[in-house]
C-alpha cells in the first residue's frame, strides 16, 4: 500500500517563514530556517510539519519567562526571540518613564552566551544601565544581584533542569522575586507589540558586575551551629553550581567536600544523565556511588542552575534520597529551632506536605499555604524566614534571595547534619523525632495522561460533586483540594502536558516512639489504598 503523501506547504506558512527569515538578525538561525523552508518547499517528508511547528507562534511568556528548544523560528529560543522578549520587557519596565539598572546572567547551556548578550544589548539600547555577570553562574546569584545592586529587574538565561536541547529566559523584578500575575500577561502583550527583531535598537554601555563574593559571604554566614566535621559528596549535574557551591561550603567551614568528577564541569550536553533533574530515576546514581566510596555523611545534588537541591543520607540498607518534603521540614525545623526571629513566618504550597504547619505551631511561628511556585511562596506574607516546595526548592534566606536557592540550602543542610553528627546522630534520627512529635506524613504525586477536555471535565465534576466523605475547596481556578480526616488530595492540570496531576497526603498519628514503626506501616498502607482510590476515581470520571 502506498503511504500517504505529506501535506503540501501552505502559502501562508511559506510567507510567514520568509518574513521571519528576513527579520532575523542572526545569520546562523536565518540559514537554519532557510534550510527547513527549502525542504518543505521541495515536499520532503515531514518538512512542512517541522516548519509549521517552528512557526506555530511565539514562545509563551509566563511567570517563568520563556522556555523552549534552541532552534530557529518564533517557537524556539534564539537571538530574534530573545531580542523581541527583551524589547517587550524594556517597554514594560519603562512604562512610567523611569529607567534603572538591569542585571543579566546566564548558565552554560547551548546558546546562553549569545542570548545573554542579545538581552543586554537591547536593554542598553532602550536606555537602561546594564550590568552583566562575569561568567556562567547559578540562578540564585542573579536573584541575589538584583537586590544587591538595587536593580529594577534581572534576566537569567537558563532552562534550569530541562533537557539539553532547551534554554530559557527568566525574569526577576526589583523586589528580587519572580514575576507574578498580571505582570507576566502585561509583558507578553508588550512583546507582542515589539517590532521585528532586526529593527530593535541595540547598543550602549554594558558593564560587568561581579557579586559572587558578596553572595558567598552571605551564604557563608548562614550556619547556626559550631560543628563542622562533615564529609560531603556533591554533584552539580554538569551545571554551573559546582564551583560556587564548593566555595560556599568552604566559606561556611565545610571543607571535606568530594565532587563527582564526571559531572563537575559545566557541559550543555549533560552526557552522564538521561535527564538533568535530581528527581529523575538514575540521575543521582553517580553521586550515591561516590558517597559510598568516600564514606560521606551527606550527599548533595544540585540541578544544573543550582536553584534546587536534593539530599541523600546513609542508612542500614545503603544510601537513600530524601523527598523534597522531608528536606523541607528538616530545614524549616532547623531554622525555627535555632531561633532569633521576631514573629517568623514559614510557607509552603498546597501540594507540599502540611507537616510544616504543625512544626510552625510548635514554635509559635506563623504558617502560610500558597499556590504552587516560588512567585507565591515568597509573597506568602511579612516576616518570611523560610519557604519550600516539594519539588526540591528551598528559600532559606529570603532577605538575600527571594527564590529557591540550592546552594544556600546545601549549606544549611550541612550545618544541621554536622550538628547532629557531633551528637552521634543523623538526619534520619531527626526525621524520627519530628514524626513522633507531629505524626507520620506520607506524600506522593500521581500523573495521569488525559486530554485537556476530559481532564478539565473530570476536575469540574469532582468539584461540583465531591466523592462521599470528602470536602472540596478551590483555592485557584485550576486547583481542586479534597480533604477528609487525615487525608488530602490536590488535583491540578499540568501546565505543559496533557496530564492531570494528583498530590496525595496521609497523616498517621504516632502515640509514642515505640509506635513509630507501626505508624509508618499504617501510613504506607493508607497511601497505597488512597492511590488506588484516586486512580479509580479519576479514570472513572475521565470515562464518564
Active site amino acids? 160
Contacts of 112 (CB under 8 A, 6+ apart): 106, 136, 157, 158, 167, 268
Decide: 343 and 495 in contact? Cβ < 8 Å: no
CA angle 414–213–211, rounded 5-degree value: 120
Distance CA 151, CA 249 (A): 27
Distance CA 513, CA 190 (A): 59
Residue 347, H or E segment: strand 345-349
Measured torsion, CA atoms of residues 507, 513, 518, 520, in degrees rounded to the nearest 10: 40
Decide: 481 and 472 in contact? Cβ < 8 Å: yes
Contacts of 13 (CB under 8 A, 6+ apart): 40, 48, 51, 52, 55
Decide: 503 and 489 in contact? Cβ < 8 Å: yes
Going 389 to 393 to 398 to 403, the CA torsion angle's sign is negative
| Cell numbers for 346 | 514559614
The residue to which cell 537554519 is assigned? 32
Distance CA 439, CA 510 (A): 5
CB atoms within 10 A of CB 237: 32
Q: What spatial distance separates the first Cα and last Cα of the chain, rounded to whole Å?
A: 38
Q: Where are the alpha helices (DSSP H) in 397-451?
A: 406-422, 427-438
Residue 503, H or E segment: strand 499-508
Amino acid at each position: 500500500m502506498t503511504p500517504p503523501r505529506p501535506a503540501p506547504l501552505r502559502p501562508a506558512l511559506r510567507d510567514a517563514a520568509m518574513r521571519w527569515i528576513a527579520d532575523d538578525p542572526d545569520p546562523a538561525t536565518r540559514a537554519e530556517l532557510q534550510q527547513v523552508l527549502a525542504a518543505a518547499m521541495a515536499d520532503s517528508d515531514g518538512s512542512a510539519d517541522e516548519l509549521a511547528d517552528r512557526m506555530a507562534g511565539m514562545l509563551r511568556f509566563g511567570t517563568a519567562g520563556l522556555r523552549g528548544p534552541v532552534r530557529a523560528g518564533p517557537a524556539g529560543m534564539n537571538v530574534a526571540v530573545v531580542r523581541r522578549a527583551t524589547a517587550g520587557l524594556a517597554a514594560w519596565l519603562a512604562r512610567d518613564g523611569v529607567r534603572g539598572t538591569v542585571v543579566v546572567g546566564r548558565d552554560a547551556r547551548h546558546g546562553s552566551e549569545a542570548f545573554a548578550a542579545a538581552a543586554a544589548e537591547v536593554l542598553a539600547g532602550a536606555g537602561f544601565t546594564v550590568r552583566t555577570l562575569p561568567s556562567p553562574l547559578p540562578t540564585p546569584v542573579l536573584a541575589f544581584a538584583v537586590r544587591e545592586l538595587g536593580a529594577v529587574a534581572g534576566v537569567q538565561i537558563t532552562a534550569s533542569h530541562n533537557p539539553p536541547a532547551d534554554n530559557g529566559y527568566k525574569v526577576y523584578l526589583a523586589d528580587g522575586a519572580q514575576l507574578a500575575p498580571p505582570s507576566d500577561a502585561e509583558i507578553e502583550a508588550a512583546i507582542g507589540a515589539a517590532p521585528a527583531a532586526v529593527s530593535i535598537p541595540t547598543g550602549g554601555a554594558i558593564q560587568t558586575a561581579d557579586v559572587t563574593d558578596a553572595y558567598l559571604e552571605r551564604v557563608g554566614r548562614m550556619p547556626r551551629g559550631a560543628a563542622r566535621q562533615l564529609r560531603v559528596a556533591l554533584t552539580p549535574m554538569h551545571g554551573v553550581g559546582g564551583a560556587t557551591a564548593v566555595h560556599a561550603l568552604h566559606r561556611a567551614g565545610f571543607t571535606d567536600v568530594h565532587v563527582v568528577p564526571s559531572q563537575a564541569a559545566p557541559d550543555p550536553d549533560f552526557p552522564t544523565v538521561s535527564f538533568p533533574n535530581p528527581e529523575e530515576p538514575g540521575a543521582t546514581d553517580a553521586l550515591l556511588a561516590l558517597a559510598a566510596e568516600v564514606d560521606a555523611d551527606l550527599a548533595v545534588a544540585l540541578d544544573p542552575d543550582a536553584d534546587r537541591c536534593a539530599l541523600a543520607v546513609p542508612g542500614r540498607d545503603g544510601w537513600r534520597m530524601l523527598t523534597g518534603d522531608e528536606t523541607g521540614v528538616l530545614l524549616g525545623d532547623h531554622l525555627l529551632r535555632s531561633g532569633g526571629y521576631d514573629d517568623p513566618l514559614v510557607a509552603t504550597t498546597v501540594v507540599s506536605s502540611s507537616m510544616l504547619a504543625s512544626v510552625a505551631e510548635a514554635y509559635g511561628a506563623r504558617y502560610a499555604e500558597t499556590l504552587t511556585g516560588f512567585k507565591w511562596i515568597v509573597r506568602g506574607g511579612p516576616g518570611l524566614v523560610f519557604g519550600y516546595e516539594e519539588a526540591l526548592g528551598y528559600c532559606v534566606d529570603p532577605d538575600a534571595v527571594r527564590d529557591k536557592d540550592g546552594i544556600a540550602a546545601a549549606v544549611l543542610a550541612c550545618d544541621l547534619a554536622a550538628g547532629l553528627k557531633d551528637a552521634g546522630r543523623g538526619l534520619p534520627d531527626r526525621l524520627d523525632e519530628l514524626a513522633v512529635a507531629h505524626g507520620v506524613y506520607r506524600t506522593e504525586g500521581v500523573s495521569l495522561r488525559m486530554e485537556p477536555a476530559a481532564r478539565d471535565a473530570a476536575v469540574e465534576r469532582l468539584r461540583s460533586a465531591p466523592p462521599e466523605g470528602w470536602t472540596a475547596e478551590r483555592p485557584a481556578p485550576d486547583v481542586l483540594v479534597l480533604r477528609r480526616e487525615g487525608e488530602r488530595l490536590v488535583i491540578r492540570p499540568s501546565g505543559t502536558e496533557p496530564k492531570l496531576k494528583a498530590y496525595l497526603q496521609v497523616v498517621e498519628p504516632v502515640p509514642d516512639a515505640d509506635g513509630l514503626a507501626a505508624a509508618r506501616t499504617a501510613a504506607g498502607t493508607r497511601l497505597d489504598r488512597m492511590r488506588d482510590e484516586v486512580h479509580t476515581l479519576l479514570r472513572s470520571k475521565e470515562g464518564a
